[in-house]
Amino acid sequence: MAKGMREIKRSIKSKQNTKQITKAMEMVAAAKLRKSQEAAIASRPYTDKMKEVVSSIASGAGGSKHPMLQSRPIKRTAYLVITSDRGLAGGYNANILRKVLLTIKENHHSPDEYAVFVIGRKGRDFFKRRNIALVDEITGLSDSPKFSDIKEIAAKAVQGYEAGTFDEIYLAYNEFYNAITQVPTLKRLLPLSQMQAGGDKADYEYEPSPEEVLNVLLPKYAETLVFSAVLEGKASEFGARMTAMGNATKNATKMIADLTLTYNRARQAAITQEIAEIVGGANAQQ
């Protein structure tokens, strides 16, 4: 019995240490979530304004003839997948990776029909374990990423489309709604065919010409969409990690309570047994 009680006490101590760690990680994730959420929200007006300007030009005369606005026969599709470097974030990585893998299996019959770009160590390791070649990858992204951190991979994907290496590009990321809800999203990045109609025709003047401005703005706009998705992904990551660590802390608390109850019962049983043995010994001497 004493050995069993020692094991229970050791288990309680282990759970208490785990609870301290998960509680600390929950608080850290909550602090980082606020900063990431502010960054994601702050980027939206810039993206919306750029979309307005690009739509205005694209809806004008000759604007819709730009190659990045034209759909073409799909021979090869590129996927730019955004994940995290670390785990302990619930289903944050698993959900988006499962969605991308299922899409690849459903839509492609050969590795020649698709290409994969990855941001995040978890995504890189996931595809490498399945022998899926990566065109480019980024790991070690900071908790507060800057546009310069992802510009190279975003530009490489966009240039691949412009060169005809890819006929369409999809962004795969977790869209942030709140700390509890992050939705795995697969969104077409290129071609920007939705720009061809319905643009907000504000009264802009362009130098040297609308076509020249469009040639510069469209790649920048596509890269901005990638960066916006990275910011959404970071906010989603910290929201998912905060929720996961909060649940882990609650589970640890429940396990500690159950083990403490078991320990107290075992201790009471041991005391009762000792008293019974003492009484029995005293009666035997009479």
Domain count along the chain: 2
pLDDT at 201: 53
Question: Same domain for 203 and 87?
Answer: yes
In a domain, 225, yes or no: yes
In a domain, 33, yes or no: no
The parent domain of residue 248 ranges over 2-25+244-285
Question: Same domain for 19 and 99?
Answer: no
Question: Same domain for 124 and 266?
Answer: no
In a domain, 165, yes or no: yes
pLDDT at 26: 93
Q: Percent of the chain beyond pLDDT 90? A: 56
Rounded to 10°, the helix 210-285/147-162 angle is 130
DSSP state of 130: T
DSSP state of 59: T
pLDDT surpassing 90 at residue 278: no
pLDDT surpassing 70 at residue 12: yes
CATH number of the CATH domain containing 14? 1.10.287.80
Count, residues in the chain: 286
Please, what is the Cα angle at 274 between 269 and 276, to 5 degrees?
Answer: 95
Quick check: 232 and 167 in contact, CB under 8 A?
A: no
Question: Same domain for 84 and 111?
Answer: yes
What average pLDDT does this structure show over 250-270? 90
Quick check: 126 and 82 in contact, CB under 8 A?
A: no
Q: CB atoms < 10 A from the CB of 69, how many?
A: 19
pLDDT, tens digit, 9 for 90 and up, residues 102-124: 999 999 999 999 999 999 999 99
Question: Same domain for 209 and 161?
Answer: yes
What average pLDDT does this structure show over 37-64? 77
CATH number of the CATH domain containing 55? 3.40.1380.10
pLDDT surpassing 80 at residue 40: yes
Of the candidates 249, 260, 253, the residue with the CA atom closest to the CA atom of residue 9 = 260
pLDDT, tens digit, 9 for 90 and up, residues 123-148: 999 999 999 999 999 999 999 999 99
Whole-number average pLDDT of the chain: 87
pLDDT at 199: 44
Phi and psi angles of residue 174, each rounded to the nearest 5 degrees, phi first: -95, 115
Question: Same domain for 78 and 126?
Answer: yes
Question: Same domain for 227 and 257?
Answer: no
pLDDT band at residue 272 under the 50/70/90 scheme: confident
Question: Same domain for 203 and 251?
Answer: no
pLDDT, tens digit, 9 for 90 and up, residues 137-187: 999 999 999 999 999 999 999 999 988 899 999 999 999 988 888 999 999
What average pLDDT does this structure show over 19-44? 91
In a domain, 32, yes or no: no
What average pLDDT does this structure show over 182-207? 72
Rounded Cα–Cα distance for residues 224 and 44 (Å): 10
H/E segment holding residue 216: helix 210-285
Question: Same domain for 87 and 20?
Answer: no
Of the candidates 70, 72, 92, the residue with the CA atom closest to the CA atom of residue 83 = 92
The pTM for the full model equals 0.84
